[in-house]
């Protein structure tokens, strides 16, 4: 997948150079690399692209766990968020600050790539802020 993107974007690069792109990622290829790893939902919110690319292979091994949720939230700049499991499939989240609408979008994007497929976010809260999802 990434080889065809590179061929389209940079025809002078040979497909053998794909490994170089992964080892020395350029922000120009951010979308393609994140898409290849299935992380494109956070592309717009990523705070450190090189860190995400270096941690993505290990992330894929733990996807669907609390650790992956915490890692995805860290990638979108919400490392202080507290994930609270209510049951095996239902959870809520305190982002550690009163979330803006952008923060809510970041949370939803991070959860879309990391939470278990059957998982359900029931609410986001902090202090007097509460947003319930049904």
Do residues 43 and 27 touch, judged by C-beta distance below 8 A?
A: no
Of 69, 67, 116, nearest to 93 by C-alpha is 69
Do residues 76 and 110 touch, judged by C-beta distance below 8 A?
A: yes
Task: Measure the CA–CA gap between 54 and 5, rounded to whole angstroms.
Answer: 20
Vertex 44: Cα angle to 38 and 47 (nearest 5): 95
100 CB-contact burial (10 Å; exposed 0-12 / middle 13-18 / buried 19+): exposed
With bands split at pLDDT 50, 70 and 90, how would you rate the model's confidence at 4? confident
pLDDT at residue 73 is higher than 70: yes
Tell me what pLDDT residue 8 has: 76
Using a cut of 0.75, tell me whether the model's pTM lies above it. yes
Mean pLDDT on 18-44: 77
pLDDT at residue 50 is higher than 90: no
Tell me what pLDDT residue 3 has: 67
């Amino acid at each position: 997948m990434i080889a065809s993107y590179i061929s389209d974007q940079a025809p002078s690069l040979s497909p053998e150079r794909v490994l170089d792109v992964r080892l020395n990622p350029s922000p120009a290829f951010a979308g393609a690399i994140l898409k290849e790893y299935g992380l494109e939902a956070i592309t717009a919110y990523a705070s450190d692209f090189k860190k995400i690319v270096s941690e993505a292979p290990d992330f894929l091994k733990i996807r669907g766990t609390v650790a992956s949720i915490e890692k995805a939230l860290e990638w979108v700049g919400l490392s202080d968020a507290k994930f609270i499991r209510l049951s095996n499939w239902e959870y809520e989240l305190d982002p550690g600050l009163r979330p803006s609408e952008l923060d809510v979008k970041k949370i939803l994007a991070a959860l879309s790539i990391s939470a278990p497929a059957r998982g359900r976010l029931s609410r986001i809260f902090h202090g007097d802020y509460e947003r319930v999802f049904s």
